[in-house]
Amino acid sequence: MPPRDLPKRITHTQAGRNALAHAFAHIEFNAINIALDAVYRFDDMPADYYRDWLQVAAEEGKHFLLLADYLAQHGCTYGDFPAHNSLWETVCATDHDVMVRMALVPRVLEARGLDVTPAIADKLRSVGDQALVDILGVIYTDEIGHVEIGTRWFRFCAEHRQLDPRRTFRDLLTEYMQGRIRGPYDEPGRLAAGFTRDEIEDLKAMEAQTLARLDKTHT
C-alpha cells in the first residue's frame, strides 16, 4: 500500500515492535533482490563489481533471516503486515543506467537506513528489547559497507564518463528525488560509507531549498 497509508509503528508494545521488525524485514527482502538485480542487469562492469553485489545479497539475506527469526519468536511471519513498494519502484526507475542505480539506491535509500537506525535503536533500548537492538546493530554495520560499495561504483562510473561525481550526484538527486531528501543525517555513518563532507552539506542545502519552496507554497 502507499507508504502514507501504513499504520504507525510504535516501540512501546510488542505488537508495535513486531510491525517495526516486519518493516525492516521487508526492506531486507527487497534488498536481496536489489543486489541480485544489480548483478544481473548491468553488464560490462569489472569483475569486482559482481563480487561486491553478490556479497551484499548474501548479507541482506542474513539480515532477513535474523528478522524472520525475531518475528517467529513473537508469533509472526513475513507477510503478516502490510508493506509499501517504494524501494522496488526506485529500482525500476533506475534500470536503464548503472551509474544512476549506484547513485540513488545505495547512496540515497540505503543511506537513509543509516540515518534513522540509531534513533530507532535508542527507542528500542529504552523499552528493553535488546534482541531487536542487536539485530539492528548488525544491519547498521553491514549497511555502511553496502553504501560504501554503491559509492565506490558510482564514482567509478562517473569518472569513467569524465563526469564530476559530486556535481553528478547532486544533479541526479534533483532529477529523481525532488522533495525526498530529508534529515537527520548520520554523518559518522555516511562518512564511513564514503560520503564526503561536501556531499553531506549538499544534502542539507537541498533539503533547506525544498522546505523553503514548501513554505512559499503554503503561504
Q: What is the pLDDT along the chain (219 residues), one digit of tens a residue?
A: 888 888 787 899 999 999 999 999 999 999 999 999 999 999 999 999 999 999 999 999 999 999 999 999 999 999 999 999 988 999 999 999 999 999 999 999 999 999 999 999 999 999 999 999 999 999 999 999 999 999 999 999 999 999 999 999 999 999 998 767 888 999 999 999 999 999 999 999 998 887 777 666 666
Full-model pTM: 0.93
Q: Which domain holds residue 28?
A: 3-218
Domain count within the chain: 1
Contacts for 3-11: CB closer than 8 Å, 24+ residues apart: 3/84, 3/86, 5/82, 6/82, 6/83, 6/84, 7/82, 11/120, 11/123, 11/124, 11/126, 11/127, 11/129
Q: Domain containing 159 — which CATH number?
A: 1.20.1260
Residue in the block written with cell 554523518: 187
